[in-house]
Copies of this chain bind each other. A is one copy, B any other.
Amino acid sequence: MHKETNIRSIAKGVSWRFIATGTTIVIVYVFFGRLDLAIAAGMIETALKVGLYWGHERIWHKVRWGKEKIEPFNLWFTGLPLSGKTTIADRVYTELEKLSIPIERLDSSEIRKVIPNIGFNREDRTRHMHRVGYLIKTLQNNSISTVASFVSPYRESRKAIREMVKNNIVVYVKADIESCKKRDYKGVYEKAIHGELKNFSGINDVYEEPRHAEIVIDTDKVSVDEAVEIIVEFIKKKYIK
């Protein structure tokens, strides 16, 4: 939830020295000023101060001052079905998690599994986007960043997300529709072409290309590894000090 600032740690260093050196001087004074005894005192000091240090830590643990809220961001992956959004987003999520950033992964198909009966027409999608936006916003209130992957074919709904959340980074995973069809291991393009799936973005419904994406990944030119590096570097530079 929080990270510690430099100024907080410096203040802890100063406050601890007051306690520790004060204790040493008092002990040495009690032993009447001989070095051998002062070293002996150092031993006693060692034992004592571990206890004091611990108490000091516990007191600081209660103090909120000097703790800084982590600024959350939202990585929003958009693109045609099977463009590679989920693959790249999963890898980016894993890399960002390693950096100890409080982060949550949101994937369209996962959410659709949990929340039943969300349609695919324009109205249903837009309503769904509002719910997802609310979820992201609530997580952001609690300093949690998000890695979200949704086809999100309409400009309007992507704009709604941008207005609801802060530090929104649109990643457009650009793939030629022919390439997507070739990757059609789920058989969904096949079904859409034969009219068995309706409102399928790119086939029988539009996919409105983003015009203001912060990052564009052209999957015909950039490998998954490279894409992950580009995105993680972007986040590191902008949001991780």
B42/A25 in contact, CB under 8 A? yes
Query: Does A65 lie at the interface of the complex (its beta carbon under 8 Å from any beta carbon of B)?
Result: no
Query: Does A212 lie at the interface of the complex (its beta carbon under 8 Å from any beta carbon of B)?
Result: no
Q: What number of copies of this chain does the assembly contain?
A: 2
A115/B142 in contact, CB under 8 A? no
Main secondary structure on A side of the interface with B: helix
Given A4-B61, A111-B134, decide whether A53 and B142 contact each other with a Cβ distance below 8 A.
Answer: no
List, in ascending order, chain B residues with CB within 8 A of A157's CB: none
| Interface size band for A | 35 or more
A13/B51 in contact, CB under 8 A? yes
Q: With A and B bound together, what is the CA distance between A162 and B100 in angstroms? A: 30
Q: With A and B bound together, what is the CA distance between A114 and B141 in angstroms? A: 15
A39/B28 in contact, CB under 8 A? yes
Query: Does A50 lie at the interface of the complex (its beta carbon under 8 Å from any beta carbon of B)?
Result: yes
A120 to chain B, nearest CB (A): 16
Identify which of A15-23, A165-173, A201-209, A223-231 touches chain B. Answer: A15-23
- Select which of B100, B130, B135, B142 is within 8 A of A116 by beta carbon: B130
A145 to chain B, nearest CB (A): 10
- Select which of B17, B46, B100, B130 is within 8 A of A17 by beta carbon: B46
List, in ascending order, chain B residues with CB within 8 A of A106's CB: 138
List, in ascending order, chain B residues with CB within 8 A of A127's CB: 115-117
Chosen A-B contacts, 6 in total, with CB atoms closer than 8 Å, are A1-B1, A9-B58, A10-B50, A17-B50, A104-B138, A116-B127
Interface residues in chain A, defined as those with a beta carbon under 8 Å from any beta carbon in chain B: 1-4, 6, 9-10, 12-14, 16-17, 20-21, 24-25, 28, 33-36, 38-39, 42, 45-46, 49-54, 57-58, 61, 64, 100, 102, 104, 106, 111, 114-117, 127, 130-131, 134-135, 138-139, 141-144
